[in-house]
Structure 1
Amino acid sequence: MRRRVVSLVCALVVLGSWLAVPAAAAVTVTNGCVASVPEPGTTTPVRICYSLFEPAGASAAHTVPLIFHSHGWAGSRTKDPAAFQAWLDAGFGVLSFDQRSFGESTGVAHVMSPDYEGRDVVKLVDFVAGLDWVTKQRPGDPLIGAIGGSYGGGYQFAGAFTELRDSGRTRFDALAPEITWWDLKQSLAPEEAARTLWLSILFAAGGTHLPPAVSAAFVQLIATGGWPAGKAGRDLDAFFAHNGPAWHVSQGRKLDIPVLFGQGISDNLFNLNQGLANFDHALTARARARSIFVGYNGGHTLPSVVPPGFATPGDPCSIALGSPNFSALAVRFMTAKLLGRATGLSGFGVYHLSTADGRCLTQRNLAPNTRQALGKILVPTGAGLPLSLKIATGPLTFAGTPRLSAKVYTLVPDSGAFFALSVGTNPLTARVVQNNTMPLREKHVARGVERTIELPAIAVDVPTGKNLYLTVTPVADMYAGQRGPLPGALLLKNPTLTYRILSR
């Protein structure tokens, strides 16, 4: 029986399709599957299914580059060629695929493990390398780019870094990931404090696709608000250890291909900190000089009510770069990088960030240039009102990743607080910039422990008549349920804030 299953899967790979039908505008749509790495403890290949869109006129005599596409968490591939019309019209073929365990693909979701989802992507690259109408740079090396957001951005790094790990190079020639992560554990539970609101949404959408032990640990993470102890915690640590660019970079790997980054600055799941880490660390210096970073107010966005926040939705930086939106910008980017055509695109090697009020701010350097000592900070833990300390008076422009260093004291274990920069006319009207907070969580009683807290990366114009504040709050809605066993207090002695002021 096992031999018949393997033979059937292999036959699907050889045939390359279940169905081939002509679509609108003479686009040929082929649906099929490739055989990929079996699940642990099994020998049956996992089936990774795709829809392939061959544009009119593509042939062995007139080859075209190919764009990979995939879906977000718990989604499925796009089968309608109309969704890719801009790409087809620009002279690209497209392959959209169901990621492992989703859509028509089989297996279990390992959430972008290089050994599973990474190798799934490599199998798809192997497949398109055999298509005679796809442009080859050399035998077995197709000319390809990739697009997609969130989980659909994660596969791009998983595939490219897995090839780099296994063969010393990647066959991807350009990427355009949106709203994705650098370090998955730090995204889901920064400082091991769970983003419970988002984790609940993600688990409800696709938790049953996870391995059973990981699913159970995930539930414990949501229920307790903190990283599980014991075996459950070890299960999660092992599961997430290699699932993002951070691990590959720690192993000495960097991508040497151009990347168009799209990151949501008001995204409170994969925040701007994650995108900046990718741009700053996942690429070689040469690749970064050929890449573009666009931060917009969007992505995984939930309003911050406690503490109150603000952001103006929109993508002014794609517009400033000459495109109506990020999707159109991606077409121009791939046209320039894969087809070698002049598109008038500029802005390489720098940061293009939407401010909280919707202006595009372009900067070459986001390194801190200001160091400010603050007085003692004392806040209750577990319950209470936010405390906002005045940092600076407008007008000024602020951008980058602020950091707060201090000696930390707590009264009880499992004490914590949440930190952000806010803007307002006074402490009572201050609202958190771009809806993002970051946690400090002390598992044990702290007595003068030195800590450096990374605050949310932001971009904001503070107008005349308003002030910039450091907000410290005992509760934050993105981290609902973060409560210690007893009421307590958190004291920061000798706090120092480092940040970047661009203009005054």
Structure 2
Amino acid sequence: MGRLTLALCVLLLLVLAPAARADEVTSFDGTRIVYNWFPADRLAPGAKAPTIFIGPGYSSGGDDASSDAVKQFRAAGYNVLTWDPRGFGQSGGTVQVDSPDFDARDMQALLDATAKRPEAQLDAPGDPRMGMSGGSYGGGIQFVTAAIDSRVDAIAPSIAWHSLITSLFKEDDLKSGWGAVLCSAGESRGLAEGILQPKPETGAQDPHIFRTCTQGLAQGRAFEEDKAWFAERGPGELIRRIRVPTLIMQGTVDTLFTLRESIENHALLRETKVPLKMMWFCGGHGVCNTGAGPANFVEDRVLAWMDRWVKRDAKVGTGPAFEWLADDAQWRSAAGFQLPRSGALRGTGSGTLPIAPGASSGGAIAATPAAPGSALEVAVEPAKAALDVLGEPKLKLTYRGTASPSATRVYAQLVDPSRRRVVGNQATPIPLTLDGQERTIERPLEAIAVRTAPGAVYTLQLVSSSSLYAPQRSAGSVAVSRAEIELPVVDPARAVVSAGERPDATVPGAAGGAKPKPQGRSCTSRRAITITLRRVPKRAKLRSVIVSVTGKKTVRLKGRRRVRVDLRGARAGRVTVRLVARTAGGKRYVDRRNYRTCVPKRR
């Protein structure tokens, strides 16, 4: 009798519990966006709960009920919404790569739909209490959504980007390894998943993506028009508009969206003084070979972040403002991300490096030590104690050489000989001009997180090519008369703590840690203008155009007289656009334009 009673009780709970449901919304431009709705576990009839949006990776549809993340949030008392981004899965439209003008407005439609759900807790009519989680493509969408819609309460983007130019086309060098992977996934998943669904949709790739995937990969570089399109796929300067608590997570072995992307985003958010935390973990778009640390450490931090800022439970601790996992699989922390240097490990050397077309080093998504005799190597001084090496190493090269074509690149990577691994699996392109003249170049390398053992020795390797990037196309050699490498040593106890990183941080302009009362949707500059370079003589052949918006360089273009400038996300007021054009003959032309954003339209 007892077992029968228990079985009936379980069945009754299943009947009364809100069921997961699939639904759809129509976005601003008529595009159909399909989503899944999962009410919180054990939610009583008539009760309401806050909601978490979980974003998927590139080419993927929304998570289903079997997802660990969905289960974790539902068990913690949250409704969960997942969705198929436009162009993927069952949703229609063209893939727009987390565009603030398309994908972020799809999120606004989903926010509207969430506000109508009977299980959704509201802060005001049409304003659901909600946070956002997810990685990669599902991380980028959080930045742009929070930037344009004040209804978002907290975000926890993981392994996202700041700029697709600095991440995909570093030093104008296409990441062909990851490019091949992403292009294949985007084409197959976007079409196949849509066709196989009950309500078929045949989402499409934008022509800019397709052209970069075909001609770009074949030629080793993208067209300037395509790069300009990717440059508009934020978040970039839109980060400055975010006014909600933000937990940034980035992978130390992520060779697609490297630690530099999180450093840029964190720097802009520090200025806004929002509650802010950053975590560097061993994972992301890459391979963790040094240990990932305790299970569920990052996931538990994300849940705590949502409990603190979405449920607004001030008793929940979110941990130190900066936590990182070094290559010894141990978590360390500091009160803030800005860690003053307490020293450095240095090395100097010289040598000659042959350069040959097609030569390759490493794997498509992870750098590996070069074969013996194929790299120019510089030994770094031994560590005298256990040290925290954290951040971007600095490289300075004085060199001379000849090659055809003369404009080429070499790749710098830091090797741990004791493990026979490249630190963080990272390689950094270093642009060279091999025209017989002596030149000097300085560059930061990709950031690393290392805990040295006493006596540990590291080696800088310069290789002529890396499979992470486009194949080498030059033939020749470079003689390096002096190579200087400097690894940053930091002291976590001396962290510089910003207002948003303090344990008592609150949302600016809000009481009790709540978000400010919405004043309607804040002004969002949607201006994307085209400027014609009129000062440059028509017969002059342009070599490059550098575009700066309010003092910050945004993009470098080649050979274009009409330049598209993206002002979206700029603060209300005056914006100065500066264009510096250089011709093939060496002449320089400077043009300045002033614009005003968020100016009411005349009636």
Regarding TM over 0.5, the answer is yes
1:407/1:210 CA distance change after superposition, 3 Å: farther
Counterpart selection for 1:420 from 413, 416, 422: 413
Do 1:254 and 1:283's aligned partners in 2 also have CA atoms closer than 8 Å? no
2:97 aligned residue:
111
Do 1:118 and 1:155's aligned partners in 2 also have CA atoms closer than 8 Å? yes
Counterpart selection for 1:235 from 222, 225, 235: 225
Q: Is 1:77 matched up with 2:62? A: yes
Once the two structures are TM-superposed, the CA of residue 60 in structure 1 deviates from its matched residue by 9.5
- For each residue in 1:325-374, what CA deviation from the matched residue of structure 2 results, as whole angstroms up to 9, or x when unmatched? 3223212221121112356524343x211111212122333354546584
1:494/1:268 CA distance change after superposition, 3 Å: closer
Amino acid paired to 1:131? R
Once the two structures are TM-superposed, the CA of residue 180 in structure 1 deviates from its matched residue by 1.4
Q: How does 1:231-380 map to 2 (within 5 A)?
A: 233-249=223-239, 253-287=240-274, 290-302=275-287, 311-316=289-294, 324-341=296-313, 344-349=316-321, 351-363=322-334, 364=336, 365-370=338-343, 374-376=348-350, 378-380=352-354
| Structure 2 gap segments, 5+ residues each | 1-12, 189-203, 360-372, 493-603
Do 2:324 and 2:333's aligned partners in 1 also have CA atoms closer than 8 Å? yes
Mapped to 2, the partners of 1:224 and 1:490 lie a distance apart of 27
Amino acid paired to 2:247? L
1:82/1:398 CA distance change after superposition, 3 Å: closer
Once the two structures are TM-superposed, the CA of residue 263 in structure 1 deviates from its matched residue by 1.4
Once the two structures are TM-superposed, the CA of residue 118 in structure 1 deviates from its matched residue by 1.6
1:405/1:255 CA distance change after superposition, 3 Å: farther
Q: Counterpart of 2:238 in 1: which secondary structure?
A: helix
Q: Is 1:385 matched up with 2:382? A: no
Q: Counterpart of 2:22 in 1: which secondary structure?
A: strand
1:366/1:490 CA distance change after superposition, 3 Å: farther
Q: Which moved further from structure 2: 82-91 or 144-153?
A: 82-91
Amino acid paired to 1:275? S
1:466 aligned residue:
456
1:172/1:492 CA distance change after superposition, 3 Å: farther
Do 1:143 and 1:172's aligned partners in 2 also have CA atoms closer than 8 Å? yes
Q: Which moved further from structure 2: 213-222 or 94-103?
A: 213-222
Give the TM-score normalised by structure 2.
0.67
Mapped to 2, the partners of 1:82 and 1:386 lie a distance apart of 44
Do 1:255 and 1:283's aligned partners in 2 also have CA atoms closer than 8 Å? no
Do 2:95 and 2:205's aligned partners in 1 also have CA atoms closer than 8 Å? yes
Do 2:251 and 2:259's aligned partners in 1 also have CA atoms closer than 8 Å? yes
Do 2:57 and 2:138's aligned partners in 1 also have CA atoms closer than 8 Å? yes
1:332/1:219 CA distance change after superposition, 3 Å: same
Do 2:410 and 2:462's aligned partners in 1 also have CA atoms closer than 8 Å? yes
1:182/1:136 CA distance change after superposition, 3 Å: same
- For each residue in 1:402-426, what CA deviation from the matched residue of structure 2 results, as whole angstroms up to 9, or x when unmatched? 222445544222321111223236x
Once the two structures are TM-superposed, the CA of residue 24 in structure 1 deviates from its matched residue by 8.3
Amino acid paired to 2:305? F
Mapped to 1, the partners of 2:316 and 2:354 lie a distance apart of 54
Once the two structures are TM-superposed, the CA of residue 140 in structure 1 deviates from its matched residue by 2.6
Mapped to 2, the partners of 1:376 and 1:254 lie a distance apart of 47
1:35 aligned residue:
26
Do 2:208 and 2:229's aligned partners in 1 also have CA atoms closer than 8 Å? no
Do 1:368 and 1:402's aligned partners in 2 also have CA atoms closer than 8 Å? no
Do 1:298 and 1:313's aligned partners in 2 also have CA atoms closer than 8 Å? no
Amino acid paired to 1:472? L
Mapped to 1, the partners of 2:423 and 2:388 lie a distance apart of 12
| Structure 1 gap segments, 5+ residues each | 1-21, 39-44, 164-169, 303-309
Do 2:339 and 2:490's aligned partners in 1 also have CA atoms closer than 8 Å? no
2:467 aligned residue:
477
Once the two structures are TM-superposed, the CA of residue 273 in structure 1 deviates from its matched residue by 1.8
Once the two structures are TM-superposed, the CA of residue 100 in structure 1 deviates from its matched residue by 0.6
Q: Which moved further from structure 2: 141-150 or 382-391?
A: 382-391
1:181/1:446 CA distance change after superposition, 3 Å: farther
1:297/1:256 CA distance change after superposition, 3 Å: same
Mapped to 2, the partners of 1:418 and 1:405 lie a distance apart of 13
Once the two structures are TM-superposed, the CA of residue 204 in structure 1 deviates from its matched residue by 0.8
Between structures 1 and 2, the one with greater helix share = 1
Do 1:408 and 1:446's aligned partners in 2 also have CA atoms closer than 8 Å? no
Do 2:392 and 2:444's aligned partners in 1 also have CA atoms closer than 8 Å? yes
Mapped to 2, the partners of 1:135 and 1:213 lie a distance apart of 40
1:399 aligned residue:
390
Mapped to 1, the partners of 2:42 and 2:455 lie a distance apart of 61
Once the two structures are TM-superposed, the CA of residue 97 in structure 1 deviates from its matched residue by 0.5
1:24/1:357 CA distance change after superposition, 3 Å: farther
Do 2:347 and 2:378's aligned partners in 1 also have CA atoms closer than 8 Å? no
- Length, aligned pairs only: 442
Mapped to 2, the partners of 1:354 and 1:24 lie a distance apart of 44
1:488 aligned residue:
477
Identity in percent: 25
1:190/1:366 CA distance change after superposition, 3 Å: farther
Give the TM-score normalised by structure 1.
0.79
- For each residue in 1:283-337, what CA deviation from the matched residue of structure 2 results, as whole angstroms up to 9, or x when unmatched? 54522xx3322211111114xxxxxxx8413145xx6xxxx33223212221121
Once the two structures are TM-superposed, the CA of residue 49 in structure 1 deviates from its matched residue by 0.8
Counterpart selection for 1:191 from 171, 191, 198: 171
1:149/1:343 CA distance change after superposition, 3 Å: farther
Once the two structures are TM-superposed, the CA of residue 177 in structure 1 deviates from its matched residue by 1.3
Amino acid paired to 1:262? M
Please report the RMSD computed on the Cα atoms of aligned residues, expressed in angstroms.
2.9
2:563 aligned residue:
none
Q: Is 1:68 matched up with 2:53? A: yes
Q: How does 1:164-203 map to 2 (within 5 A)?
A: 170-203=150-183
Larger Rg: 2
1:56/1:399 CA distance change after superposition, 3 Å: closer
1:487/1:267 CA distance change after superposition, 3 Å: same
Once the two structures are TM-superposed, the CA of residue 33 in structure 1 deviates from its matched residue by 1.2
Q: Counterpart of 1:191 in 2: which secondary structure?
A: helix
